[in-house]
Structure 1
Amino acid sequence: MSCEGHSTETEKAEEQPQNDVYLRWLEHRKRKRAEEKQRKKEKRIALKEAGLGDQLRRFRGKTMEQSSCKIRVAIDMSFDDLMSEKDCRRAVQQLNWSYSANRRSPEPLQFYITSFSGLSRKVYDGIESNKNQDIFLKNESLDDLFKPEEIVYLTADSDNVRVLSEIDDTKVYVIGGLVDHNSHKGLCLELAVRKGYGHARLPIDEFVEMKTRKVLTINHVFEILVHYTSNHDWEKAFFTVIPPRKGAAKKENGQEAPSEESDSQKVVDSTEDSDAPEAKRREIDDSATK
């Protein structure tokens, strides 16, 4: 056998393991794609059976202008100086989840973000898909936009629940855009009293037993208002939105209520919807590395 022939056989012998690895990789990829295809098929079937077939398409709901709901909800972003950069990014994530909930509502609320000019705004503007969001983005403060008598500041520290027995479209319901409530307990109530705003708390205590603290995220409060304005049922709104990990139970019997998925908990295909929660989370994470 010539040296050349021996060399060729050696090369073939060395190539064979590489080919085997490549073939195994191709087979693995083929299997994973088949599994993903089957998973999506099962998801489509489940959504149709649950009456949620509209989620199979890129969502096209009503705009705020088209909505019959004229309830105004504002998120007050005047607290950037009290938050770390990480918390500002978390706040923006919660703003986007709030937008996602409003966008999917049959009749969207009139959604304002006020005092939106600090670090949070910079983070928000750095997300490409935020450019066409249907939100009233305002640099101005609450005082510049609304009359004090119109404003009802929502805070868990308020002892006033009667104001929210019915939502009034002559009022503006304000959610504090503050992530770290533990470090600034009572701040939103103090602000409301000092400014002469009305204030109220959500009637959670009247409907829900909570195993953990009652402080909810920005988007959870917003979503509760979205659901309440749609069905006028506080209990249903709470149990649709409050995460199961908080151990929410119905007040009258202490039994945990089965919770529907809130809009920020739903799994929406982020390749089809740039406003899906996973897509937003990814964009915010990406912006942190720029």
Structure 2
Amino acid sequence: MDCKEEWLHGLMQGYWSSDTDEDEVSCNKDNDAPSPEECNKLTRKSARRLERFERSKKWKKMKQKEKQQLKEQQHKQLQHCEEQTDSLTKSDKPTKKEIKDMINAKLDSVQRSETIPKICVDMGLTGFMSEKEIDRLAGQLRRLYGSNRRSPKPLHVTLTNLEPGSLVYQACERKNDGFRNYKVHMTSESHLDMFPLERITYLTPDSETVLTRLEEGRVYILGGLVDESPSKNYTLQMANQWGLTTARLPISEYLQHAGTGSYNKILSINQIFDILLNFYLDGDWTSALLAGIPRRKGFIPK
């Protein structure tokens, strides 16, 4: 038992013990002693604290076990790859260019598909953003695209309301090497003009509707908005004005508070995309949410 556990254990024993020593707080004598109501309040508070501590400890132990399992799995995969590599001649090994061409061909195929779910980033919200926030948005797009390239099962990606020569376009060119050659659909058109409204779902954390699945051929809008002091219901109000269906990620349905953290459910577009990408890959919301939400936010599985 570590120091923290001993302290909590001692604290709980002090509140629950039927014996009273001279050094213990008495709930029945001395005028300065806490009342029974205060004792009960302290007991409940300590119980909640101990419960949070135990839950956090259990979570850390589980994550450590998962990390070890992942490490062992990666080691086995590496061994397998090395064995396969050893069995190949140099002429059989794909070059970097060949690998890049294969990835690009896969992304081209995805972009042509009419059945794969479409993730659309609305780039028309930059009028409300500072230059610093626009740069951050460009960096998020770089991470989004990198995740999609690496995925064995990529999603269709569209950037709408993106005007060539605009501040956000210039920022994307600065922050993203080869931005013009990205295997995504870039257009200055609005998603409202590109897609039938009945096929659009606007993802916003303020929606009352929970996203349960990704439908074939459906368009999921991510608002390309980086706001250091986000306004509640802003994207929800916009979507309602346009008459669009809205949905939120099922964070509350699959995750709970770990005991420490900000519990902030506002995520960047690349974090939301990573969640959708992981869910599209294996259909598991818990693992998808944990893969996309930073640990500092303090969420653990239910």
Normalising by structure 1, we get a TM-score of 0.65
Match of 2:199 in 1: 150
CA distance in 2: counterparts of 1:49 and 1:104, whole angstroms:
19
**Which of 230, 238, 245 is 1:198 aligned to?**
245
The 5 A counterparts of 1:176-191 are 176-180=223-227, 182-191=229-238
Question: Is 1:49–2:96 an aligned residue pair?
Answer: no
| CA RMSD of superposed structures (Å) | 2.5
CA distance in 2: counterparts of 1:222 and 1:110, whole angstroms:
11
Deviation at 1:76, TM superposition (A): 0.7
Question: Is 1:98–2:147 an aligned residue pair?
Answer: no
Match of 1:250 in 2: 301
What secondary structure is seen at the aligned counterpart in 2 of 1:66? helix
CA distance in 2: counterparts of 1:46 and 1:132, whole angstroms:
37
Deviation at 1:133, TM superposition (A): 1.1
Letter in structure 2 aligned against 1:63:
K
Deviation at 1:50, TM superposition (A): 6.1
Unaligned runs of 5+ in 1: 1-44, 252-290
Match of 1:135 in 2: 184
What secondary structure is seen at the aligned counterpart in 2 of 1:75? strand
Deviations 1:151-194 (A, max 9, x none): 10000000101xx2221113100111001163332111011100
Contact 1:91 1:178 in 2 (8 A): yes
Contact 1:63 1:134 in 2 (8 A): no
Contact 1:102 1:108 in 2 (8 A): yes
What secondary structure is seen at the aligned counterpart in 2 of 1:165? coil
Deviation at 1:110, TM superposition (A): 0.5
CA distance in 2: counterparts of 1:181 and 1:71, whole angstroms:
30
The 5 A counterparts of 1:103-122 are 103-117=149-163, 118-122=166-170
Task: Describe the shift of the 1:66–1:224 C-alpha distance in structure 2 as closer, same or farther (beyond 3 A).
Answer: same
Contact 2:256 2:300 in 1 (8 A): yes
What secondary structure is seen at the aligned counterpart in 2 of 1:230? helix
Letter in structure 1 aligned against 2:250:
P
Match of 2:109 in 1: 66
Aligned length: 204
Deviation at 1:245, TM superposition (A): 1.3
Match of 1:241 in 2: 292
Deviation at 1:65, TM superposition (A): 3.2
Fraction of identical pairs, as percent: 33
Letter in structure 2 aligned against 1:65:
D
Match of 2:173 in 1: 125
Match of 2:278 in 1: 227
Q: Which has the higher contact order (CA 8 A, sep 6+)?
A: 1
Unaligned runs of 5+ in 2: 1-70, 83-94
